[in-house]
Amino acid sequence: MAAVTLKDVAERAGVSIKTVSNVVRNAPRVSEATRKRVLKAVHELGYRPNPSARRLRTGHSGLIGLAVPDLATPYFAELAQHVRAEAAHLGLTVLIEETLGDATEELRLATGVGASLLDGVILSPLGVSPDELAAVANEFPLVLLGERSYARDQVGADHVLIDNVAAARDATAHLAALGRTRIAAIGVDQQASATSRQRLEGFQLALHEAGVIYDPRLAPAIKEFDRRNGLLAMRALTALPAGVRPDAVFCFSDLLAVGAQRALFEAGLTIPDDVAVASIDGTDEALYSTPSLTSVVPDKTAIASLAVKCLAARIRSDEPLPFEVHTAPHWLHARESTNGGRQQLFP
C-alpha cells in the first residue's frame, strides 16, 4: 500500500498542499477552521510526516531537541512549554529529552549522536564539564541554557541565562527590607554547582549591603533542589537555638521553598510572621502554594524565544555566526509568604 502523501491530505481537506504543510509543521497564520479540517483529513488517512524526505528536500528536518535535567521539576516543565510554543511559530518541532544530569547523556545530545534527524539541540547542562562541551560545541548547532560557570569564549555555543547573582540579591534584599536580620539560605548544595554558587554569592552580597552578618549556621548543605531537601534543611534550621533560629529564609528554588514551608507548618511557626520565605523560579507551584510564595520570576518566555531563535539562525545560516551570551530579564513577585495577609490570585 502506497504511503499517504501531502497531496492526498490536501485533496481530502479541499486545501492546497502548502496549507497542509503549514498545518503539519504547526506554522502560524492558518485559521482554526482550516486547521481542524486538515487534521481531520490527516487522521482519516493516517498520514505521517517523513522527516527524512524533508531533509532531502531542504537539508533540514525541522526537528530540534530540548534536553533538560528533570521534567518533573516545574521550572523545566514550564520552560519546555514555552520552547515548544516558540518553535511552532518558526515551523519547528521539538523533541524533549530528560538527561537526569548525566554527563554522558548530555554530551551525546550536545553532539547530535543518536539523534541524526535533529537539526540542533537546546541543552541545559548539569553534569557535563565546560571542557567537554568546548571540545564538541562546534560539531553541531547547540544553544546552552542555565548558569554559565566558564569564560565567555571557552565554549563555542550560544548561551541564554538570567543573572543569578542579581536574582538572589533581589530576593534577599526584599527580606532584609522587611527588617529581618537572621536570614537563612537553603540551596547550598554539596556538589557546589554553578547555580548554588551564584545564588549564594547574590545572597551574601545582599546581606552585606543590608549590614547583616552572614552566619554559616544558617546555610545548611543540601543534596538536591527538591521539596524533601527543603523540608529537611528547614527542620534543621528550626532546631537551632532561639537567638540563632532564622526569621527569614531565601530558598534557591521554588521546590526547596515548598518543602521549607511544610517544615515551618510542622514546627507550629507562621509565615511570614515568624519566618518570611522567598525563592527563585516563578513557577505555578509558587503561585498556588499556601501561603503563596514570594519568588523571583525568570522571564521564561524570553528565555525560550532567545534560545529557539539563536538555534534556528545557526541551523539556517550558511556562514559561521558569532557566539552570543543572552541575559533574559527577571523580576521579584512579592506574595503572601513575605507580605502576609490573604491575596486573591485572580481578582
In this structure, what C-alpha cell is assigned to residue 159? 548561551
At residue 188, the pLDDT reads: 95
Q: Does position 51 have pLDDT exceeding 80, yes or no?
A: no
SS3 312: helix
Q: Are the C-beta atoms of 88 and 34 separated by less than 8 Å?
A: no
Q: Does position 59 have pLDDT exceeding 90, yes or no?
A: no
Please give the backbone phi and psi of residue 266, each rounded to the nearest 5 degrees, phi first.
Answer: -60, -35
Confidence grade of residue 150 (pLDDT, cut at 50, 70, 90) = low
Stretch 150-166: mean pLDDT: 82
Q: Does position 257 have pLDDT exceeding 60, yes or no?
A: yes
Least confident stretch, 131-140, 221-230, 265-274, 306-315:
131-140
Render pLDDT for 77-128 as a digit per residue (tens, 0 to 9): 999 999 999 999 988 999 999 998 888 888 888 877 655 578 899 999 988 8
Picking from 250, 344, 327, 343, the residue whose alpha carbon sits closest to that of residue 296 is 250
Stretch 196-217: mean pLDDT: 96
In this structure, what C-alpha cell is assigned to residue 42? 490527516
Of 164 and 127, the structure prediction assigns the larger pLDDT to 164
Stretch 139-160: mean pLDDT: 79
Length of the chain: 347
Picking from 191, 172, 193, the residue whose alpha carbon sits closest to that of residue 246 is 172
At residue 264, the pLDDT reads: 98
Give the global pTM.
Answer: 0.81
Confidence grade of residue 56 (pLDDT, cut at 50, 70, 90) = very low
Helix (H) or strand (E) holding 202: helix 194-210
In this structure, what C-alpha cell is assigned to residue 6? 501531502
The mean of the pLDDT values for the chain is 88
Q: What is the DSSP letter of 182?
A: S
Of 292 and 341, the structure prediction assigns the larger pLDDT to 292
Confidence grade of residue 32 (pLDDT, cut at 50, 70, 90) = confident
In this structure, what C-alpha cell is assigned to residue 308? 529557539
What lies within 8 Å, CB to CB, of 100 at 6+ separation is 69, 70
User: How far, in Å, CA of 106 to CA of 114, rounded?
Assistant: 12
